[in-house]
Amino acid sequence: MPEKKRILLIDNEEGLCRMMEAVLLDNGYSVKGYTRSFQAVEEFVPGDWDLVITDIKMPGMDGLEVLQKIKEKQPQIPVIMITAYATVEMSIQALRRGAYDMLTKPFEPEELLYRVKNALTQTELIEENRELKEELAGKFRFDNIIGASAGLKDVLEKVAKIAIRDTSVLITGESGTGKELIAQAIHYNSPRQGKRFVAINCGALPESILEGELFGYRKGAFTGAKENRLGLLEAADGGTLFLDEVGNLPLNVQMTLLRFLQEQEFMRLGDTTPTKVDVRILSATNSDLKQAVKNGTFREDLFYRLNVVNLHLPPLRDRRTDIPLLMAHFIAIQNKKFGTGIKGVEHDAMLAVGRYDWPGNIRQLRNVVEASMAMEGGEMLTLSVISQFIELPPDGADTQAEEVGEGDYGLAMARFEADYLKGLLGRHGWNVEAAARDAGVNMATMYRKMKKYSLRRE
């Protein structure tokens, strides 16, 4: 049975505090209510709570001070602020101090439960996010983006140069080529790496919602705007905003985005004063924006603002020698995730996937590997299993099969093994015994591989 989520309530109105406590208890939460803010802060122990709900206007120590002191003790805990006076200025002040959400009085129990559920979704990810942040420096090092082909190396050389320069970058390429991963690599190797990386898919939201998501809005700006909302541009202040499928932006949103790129300021919907933020814009598209400009569906001036630097990611069919490296990488991830023991891909299966054109690129390859591993009963992925998920070309098809010949396959696997072992040893501080245990091999094998690939601490 899952452990109950623990919620700390602080509200000097005893009746409201008890009402919220009863609603949350009835819905399976563990709750403790305080009517004295000083006592709540004094008795707050980091790690004991998953969520804090506090009123803003309280005698003695008000909610903003409570927020600040709790965040000093446990920075990652989400805090919901309750107020009867939800001004834009107060909301901004609370959000900038780290509040997760604002709840305006009066509210129904259903709204309270909805906000709590959303906040606790963040709590459940806190530990995972902490671990991910610790791994970012390694995860987004350029030499850990899988591939050794000339096309990918050219892209990474450009990324290394532009990451430190605060310019707009347009990343182009087919769907599934890894455009967001490159955007993350730019951000996490830039001076903005300590701030947020915020991503939005511009093609996934209707026009009526997209503008509010990007720029935010004031309460009453339109039908359904029941509260003030912070936009993604403001949420990314100091960091990077990644606009995926930017070619789908409607023209009115393009105009507002252009103003921001020119002035570094924008208007929230329903607002009369501009908001100024410091955000780097990275964008991506799998469509032809130059043709969209000619068609009149994309502003030419915005295109040139976004396309200060262009990075084009080659499709997987143009970097076939990377396929063995990518498959080995995805197999290792799945083995670790599910405790399986798939050792690799049979030779005839590898030659066959090398002849396939991969219209879905790396994303499709990853999905095929995951599905094949779920179905495979042996230690190697076989042609009979892989062919259930893609329509493989016949052996004699003229699809550049020579690019993944036996010699190239062996070379690619050797490159992968050398890079994998070097990274593994680095993570264990070059403790050979620990690295061998993590890799599932004995120390003699590890030393033999280190000698084979001339691996040594730099």
Strand order in the sheet with 6-10: 30-34, 6-10, 51-55, 79-83, 101-104
Torsions phi, psi for 103 (to 5 deg) = -125, 120
Q: Reply yes or no on domain 318-452 having CATH 1.10.8.60.
A: yes
Give burial (CB, 10 Å; 0-12/13-18/19+) of 75: exposed
Q: Which runs of E-coded beta strand occur in 277-389?
A: 280-285, 309-312, 344-345, 380-381
Centroid of chain to Cα 191 = 18
Rounded Cα gap, residues 201 and 195, in angstroms: 20
Predicted local confidence at residue 406, as pLDDT: 43
- Judge if pTM exceeds 0.85: no
All residues at 6 or more sequence positions from 80 whose CB lies less than 8 Å from its CB, including other chains: 51, 52, 53, 54, 99, 100, 101, 102, 103, 115, 116, 119
All residues at 6 or more sequence positions from 188 whose CB lies less than 8 Å from its CB, including other chains: 136, 137, 139, 140, 197
The token pair at 283 is 């964008």
**Residues 196 and 235 sit within 8 Å (Cβ to Cβ):** yes
Q: How far is CA 312 from CA 152, 154, 302, 449, in A?
A: 10, 10, 19, 36
> Exposure pattern of 414-430 as b/e (b: 16+ CB <10 Å)?
ebbebbbbbebbeebeb
Task: List where CATH 3.40.50.300 sits in the chain.
Answer: 141-314
Alpha carbon distance, N-terminus to C-terminus of the chain:
49
Predicted local confidence at residue 398, as pLDDT: 43
Task: List where CATH 3.40.50.2300 sits in the chain.
Answer: 6-130
Predicted local confidence at residue 216, as pLDDT: 83
DSSP string, 267-304: --BT-SS-EE---EEEEEESS-HHHHHHHTSS-HHHHH
> Quick count: other Cβ atoms within 10 Å of Cβ 88?
16
Predicted local confidence at residue 393, as pLDDT: 63
- Residue-by-residue pLDDT tens, the chain, 458 positions: 567 889 999 998 888 899 999 999 999 999 999 999 999 999 999 889 989 999 988 888 888 999 999 999 988 889 999 988 756 677 777 877 888 888 888 888 898 998 898 888 766 665 555 554 544 444 445 545 777 777 888 888 899 899 999 999 999 999 999 999 999 999 988 999 889 999 999 988 887 788 888 888 777 666 666 677 778 998 999 999 999 999 999 998 999 999 999 998 988 887 778 889 999 999 999 999 999 999 999 999 999 999 999 999 999 999 888 888 889 889 988 998 899 999 889 988 888 898 899 999 999 999 999 999 999 988 999 999 999 999 876 654 444 434 444 445 566 667 777 777 887 888 788 888 888 887 777 777 787 888 888 888 76
Task: List where CATH 1.10.8.60 sits in the chain.
Answer: 318-452
The token pair at 22 is 């009863």
Pick 6-130's CATH classification: 3.40.50.300, 3.30.479.30, 3.40.250.10, 3.40.50.2300: 3.40.50.2300
- Residue 99 three-state SS: coil
Query: CATH top-level class for 141-314?
Result: alpha beta
